[in-house]
Structure 1
């Protein structure tokens, strides 16, 4: 084994050691919260996203692109798009992370792809998830009578060419044409279809095969523009893919130095807020990095001697089996985006807490540097508005805007007065804090009951054990004495 291979093995070993240590202590929520807390010190601005003319171009009110890394459109009257450029120079990697396009931002999306000379679009979500529209249908379908989409506002045309379907993803070839110059080029559209919102792929190996295909297509090469990566918000699943790919590049290039996954994630979060949204996504990233580092080439899985993957698959299968045992009823409507996220984090820390259906998830703590400005945002009769708690550089409580199932255009009503809206925000925050306090009290009560039960078990079982021991010992002595007297 060469010195490079030996160091590479040591690098992988270090990541595995860290994985096992965190996993054995169930400390993924703690590590994830530590990362969030560190990012709370970032003071990057998002002023462009707050401008009145740009607010309806954002899918979620609490996920905004940083000003210093935002993509600027060069054509048309609007230069704003909800997207950030992430560069990791030491890995020679760059990505454009963006939200799932809205009906009124689809033209801007394709204009960005064209102007940035991107070779591929990586889509990690489905159009509809949990009965909610999470992304507009922004590309032409092969089964339509007219496999062409025109975007006159940006003078672009997108045509369907072909597709290849796999078990977990579909690869399409699309042709984008600039109607002003008649120049055109083909774009690859990699659509991962089995990655649940706020969740992780069922297994790292399928995800790594997807990543291997993306790499082999040349979409991540340095001689083309950065790939456009998106899910619904462009931070959770998108951040997971970019983190795994970047860490694997660093291991392949300088597998000579230990890769600090946490530091790489913090570095990437300086370019776009909130990358990786759950402790489970963080854990999956570690597992995929470890597995990907052992594959040669990437995408060729060998799980026979991989203890991490075996344990991972076993846990996932147990979850799947338990979900299959439930009644086959239509799924209930999902809770608000941020509430479902925080509830899953509480469940990781305290399983009992997740069983209380009536309790609400606690909100993230808003920072003084980012006061709530919900009243300035317009309401929309064609939009579904739900509470949402996610992460900006400052963890801000806010609302989610999602297109309705009909995907209609925006129809803005008159906004409420600032005083009424601020009072409503304060009331909702007060109610959330009260629910949080009640939930904390309930968790403490259950913890106290558990501790008292443990003490009771010790007090009950210890005398019984001693009594049984004395009884057995006395019987042995009596038997020995009886045999001795007979002899």
Structure 2
């Protein structure tokens, strides 16, 4: 498979001419011409179920709930037929819709949820916490209006994303399912990840879990509005599937995005997200090329060792036919790396392209490198619109690190990084390491408590705002009637007095 391909040529041309904004506007204009109706979304009883007034689900592709007090939820089923992919894209649940969200998970037989935003971003509520805050049966979340319960059972911390296991139980039948939630915590709103490498590693984990396969219910993908970051994730995944099936020159990114926009409005919200999609697709295709070359090398080595290519047996990665090896399409696009990841290089502050809140003219991106590296990932509030594509150096990491973990932290926490010679030194410094570990634990606990306090405060303010809104609505009609009667009475009195 050649790396000189149509999509990379298109990327380089767009980059050299700085035409990303123009391409994005053409896609936006074309999709607006093909727009469908959103009648259900604007009904009075459904308006309060939408997070944003200008993001509504199309009627023809909206997900219809089968039980409960309403059949409406702001979600669409996206189909990419050639890739045999289906996704449900939805908004971040609200306090009055999170039970509808879980009902959709149950009815659609979804295996995994892909969450691409934080609960709070730039001090704004972006998503209601729709899962229990603590693990254990005593903290189970009861959804009485839809007859479901949610229990938080397991957590895996992968530095820049989290994997949670949530047990969803139908109260009537007693049946339950374990739902995986892949939570990407370092993707800023209206922005892009710091590197394609980190994003592709995350996508690989979702794929390896079987969450995107056609024999399970569609994965539910959401950010805050369910169109920008969510659209980027689905576009990259679908394009890489098509490349695996039909070859590197088989895709037209613009046409695939236009096709997806027929199911849900506004997918991919900025030229930067569109540009990052191209980067991730090209980088993913190169990884696939390297994997295929490795398979060919393995096949040649086996032929040389065995002396007879026809005697090769089928293995997990490839299917042998005579003297050749064909890639099994059902295998993962990347093998899981059990080794510790290399540390990321320092952040390049000089790459910021937004200053004082004003958008600076776009500068051409660097060429897509053979490998890229993630940088300085953390859970704190560093997501902003100043994120720009990163100029990479060094080898491609499989899983980037966290700013909370230094090199010494990785060595002391990861048994795979220890050597026999380091045992005596570690033993002599055990007291100091234990002390530093306790300090880190306390800092993490303080940050967690601070975040929980913020969430509680946001919930309280949200409930207060909802109560005030309901009060205003309840007073609106009586005030209108009273004002009309007063105005009419005054007019009658004036006419009577004048005559």
Q: Does 1:42 align with 2:97?
A: no
Q: Aligned partners of 1:92, 1:205: CA distance in 2, in Å? A: 25
Match of 1:135 in 2: 127
Shift of 1:222: 0.9
Equivalent position of 1:452 in the other structure: none
Query: Kindly tell me: are residues 56 and 210 of structure 1, through their superposed partners in 2, closer, same or farther at Cα, counting changes over 3 Å?
Result: same
2:14 is aligned to 22
Change (3 A) 1:194 1:405: farther
Shift of 1:19: 0.6
Q: CA deviation at 1:136?
A: 0.2
Shift of 1:146: 3.9
Out of 145, 151, 171, the position equivalent to 1:179 is 171
- With the length of structure 2 as denominator, give the TM-score of the two structures: 0.62
Distance 1:201 1:116 in 2: 29
Contact 1:87 1:93 in 2 (8 A): yes
For the 8 Å contact 2:91–2:223, the answer to whether it is kept is yes
TM-score (norm 1): 0.63
CA positional deviation for 1:215? 0.3
Q: CA deviation at 1:347?
A: 4.6
Aligned ranges 1:39-438 → 2 under 5 Å: 39-142=31-134, 146-255=138-247, 257-295=249-287, 296=291, 298-299=333-334, 317-318=347-348, 320-321=349-350, 344=359, 347-348=361-362, 406-408=461-463, 410-411=466-467, 412=470, 413-414=472-473
Give the superposition deviation at 1:256: 6.1
Q: CA deviation at 1:13?
A: 1.6
Which 5+ residue runs of structure 2 have no aligned equivalent?
292-331, 338-343, 365-457, 481-499
1:407 CA drift (Å): 3.3
CA distances 1:77-122 after superposition (whole Å, capped 9, x unpaired): 2000000000011100000000000000000000000000000000
Question: Which is worse superposed, 289-298 or 405-414?
Answer: 405-414
Distance 1:130 1:276, change over 3 A: same
Quote the Cα distance in structure 2 between the aligned partners of 1:134 and 1:256: 37
- CA change 1:222–1:322 in 2 (3 A) is closer
CA offsets 1:255-284 (integer angstroms, 9 cap, x no match): 164310000000000000000000000000
- Say whether the 8 Å CA contact 2:8–2:282 is kept in structure 1: yes
Deviation of the 1:298 alpha carbon:
3.7
- Give a deviation string over 1:234-260, Cα, whole Å, max 9, x none: 000000000000000000011164310
> CA 1:138/1:347 → structure 2, altered by over 3 Å: closer, same or farther?
farther
Q: 1:38 to 1:349 in 2, by over 3 A?
A: farther
Aligned-residue offset at 1:317: 4.5
Unmatched 5+ residue regions in structure 1? 303-312, 327-331, 333-339, 351-402, 421-487
Deviation track 1:297-355 (CA, whole Å, cap 9, x = no partner) reads 645699xxxxxxxxxx99x944x45669x9xxxxx9xxxxxxx8xx65x75499xxxxx
* RMSD, matched Cα: 3.0
Contact in 1 for aligned 2:90/2:222 (Cα 8 Å)? yes
Once the two structures are TM-superposed, the CA of residue 175 in structure 1 deviates from its matched residue by: 0.4
Shift in Å, 1:43: 3.7
Contact 1:205 / 1:299 at 8 angstroms: preserved in 2?
no
